[in-house]
Chain A
Amino acid sequence: MSFRISGESLDPAALQRALADRRAGACVSFEGWVRDRNDGQPVASLEYEAYAPLAEKEGARILAEAREKFAVLGTACVHRVGHLQLGELAVWVGVTAEHRGAAFDACRYIIDEAKARVPIWKKEHYAGGASAWINCATRGDHAPDTAGPIG
């Protein structure tokens, strides 16, 4: 199954149908929505940007890791890019498995790793007109991986 960057709005029902599998007794999905505040600041909208070729490679690696670590059948993740309004669906993760435990665990693994590793950036636009790239203004963390920072 795939990791995809999408410039179009996401249809969770269609994404879930693509995972249909008669061997599966569980389907767990996660939806990340655009929320109206962050760190106490009112947010008006969010802008997402991706380095798509690397994002799709890194995302595919994360899905492969989830399939190795957990007894799952299908995995998928789609992340939006573009300017999203409050309430819009920014990211969708879906996992099927014979049993729910593995499906929950793998779904959690995929969204956590995707947030930490996939080259996607988020700019918050605030109610007052200001904006900021998240994690770029104050000291933040990269998730550890084999490459490491350049300096």
Chain B
Amino acid sequence: MITVHVQYFAILREQRGLTQEKLATDAATTAALYAELRARHQFTLPADRIRAAVNDELVAAAAPLADGDRIVFIPPVAGG
């Protein structure tokens, strides 16, 4: 079990009802953590439309998680 820090933006922030939280998880990868959180909080966006960043860098789907990581799940972007 590791403890990670998750920050939420946009539609995920609204669906979670929080801007950030610290949580303990058995998830070994960003994909596993998103699946866990999606099931718990009924996030509408499927994993194939979400990117992940760990410690402010974009990472691959199966990026491993380490204790203390800062994670952001990135919904489809829409700047401009």
Please measure, in the bound complex, the distance between the C-alpha atom of A135 and the C-alpha atom of B76, giving whole angstroms. 6
Contact A147–B60 (Cβ < 8 Å): yes
Given A121-B10, A150-B31, decide whether A135 and B78 contact each other with a Cβ distance below 8 A: yes
Q: Which 8 A-B pairs have the closest CB atoms?
A: A151-B47, A120-B79, A121-B10, A135-B76, A115-B80, A147-B58, A134-B78, A122-B78
Contact pick for B49, options A111, A119, A149, CB 8 Å? A149
Residues of A within 8 A of B (CB): 32, 48-51, 53-54, 57-58, 79, 90-91, 111, 114-123, 133-136, 139-142, 145-151
Contact A150–B56 (Cβ < 8 Å): no
* 30 sampled A-B residue pairs with Cβ under 8 A: A48-B79, A51-B9, A54-B53, A58-B58, A79-B79, A90-B80, A114-B79, A115-B78, A121-B77, A122-B79, A123-B10, A133-B78, A136-B44, A136-B45, A136-B78, A139-B49, A140-B49, A140-B76, A141-B76, A146-B58, A146-B60, A147-B52, A150-B31, A150-B51, A151-B31, A151-B35, A151-B47, A151-B48, A151-B50, A151-B61
Contact B79–A91 (Cβ < 8 Å): yes
Contact B77–A145 (Cβ < 8 Å): no
Contact A49–B77 (Cβ < 8 Å): no
Contact B10–A150 (Cβ < 8 Å): no
With an 8 A cutoff between CB atoms, is B11 at the interface? yes
With an 8 A cutoff between CB atoms, is B46 at the interface? yes
A-B contact count (CB 8 A): 118
Chain A neighbourhood of B51, CB < 8 A? 142, 147-150
Q: CB-defined interface of B32-58 with A at 8 Å, one 1/0 digit per residue?
A: 001100000000111111111100111
Please measure, in the bound complex, the distance between the C-alpha atom of A146 and the C-alpha atom of B53, giving whole angstroms. 12
Please measure, in the bound complex, the distance between the C-alpha atom of A48 and the C-alpha atom of B51, giving whole angstroms. 19
Contact B74–A115 (Cβ < 8 Å): no
Smallest Cβ distance from B9 to chain A, in angstroms? 5
Given A133-B11, A136-B10, A149-B61, decide whether A120 and B50 contact each other with a Cβ distance below 8 A: no
Residue of B nearest to A123 (CB): B10
Given A54-B56, A151-B47, decide whether A116 and B61 contact each other with a Cβ distance below 8 A: no
Known: A133-B11, A149-B51, A150-B50. 16 other contacts (CB 8 A): A49-B13, A53-B56, A79-B79, A115-B80, A118-B79, A119-B74, A119-B77, A121-B10, A121-B79, A135-B75, A135-B78, A140-B49, A142-B51, A146-B58, A148-B60, A151-B46
